Amino acid sequence: MKAVHVLNGPNLNLLGTREPETYGHATLAEIEARLCARCNPRGIALHFRQSNHEGDLVTWVQEAGRAGEPVILNAGAFSHTSIALYDAIKAASAQVIEVHLSNIHAREDFRRRSMISPVARGVILGFGAFSYDLALEAFLARAEAAGKP
């Protein structure tokens, strides 16, 4: 594995200040720094991005899929609405782990269904910022088991 893509959707740029009782106090910059600290010693590049625009996320998923590089995807509200992201994951054969900071199944009805989950390799939710670490660990363990550290 040469790189891991961490893609973040709308409003995640506000982490740390947006509803900290739901999403926690960690910022995206803090999450990125923590993941970099785990990737760098292994020689794995971390492509960490955030956009409030669905099309950006679609393009980034396609790029990662074409490169054969895994994706940790927190699509935010697009998780519940985006057929375009669903299609991009399928079309690009992207290996995606969907992450959510909160337990979406314990929240409003409209948040309980994800358009991403059916095409994701796995879903990690409810562990706050640590959800990203768990997703990275899953990809690292999978690569190690396949002999591709």
DSSP state, residue 33: H
Alpha carbon distances (Å) from 70 to 23, 27, 80, 112: 24, 22, 21, 24
SS3 7: strand
Q: Do the Cβ atoms of 97 and 138 come closer than 8 Å?
A: yes
Between β-strands 71-74 and 3-8, what pairing exists: parallel, antiparallel or unpaired?
A: parallel
- 100 labelled catalytic: yes
Half-sphere exposure (Cβ direction) of 59: Cα atoms closer than 13 Å: 7
Question: Which of 5, 23, 86, 132 is flagged as catalytic?
Answer: 23
- 105 labelled catalytic: no
Question: Which of 5, 80, 86, 100 is flagged as catalytic?
Answer: 100
- CA–CA–CA angle 132, 51, 62 (5° rounding): 80
Give the residue numbers marked as catalytic: 23, 100
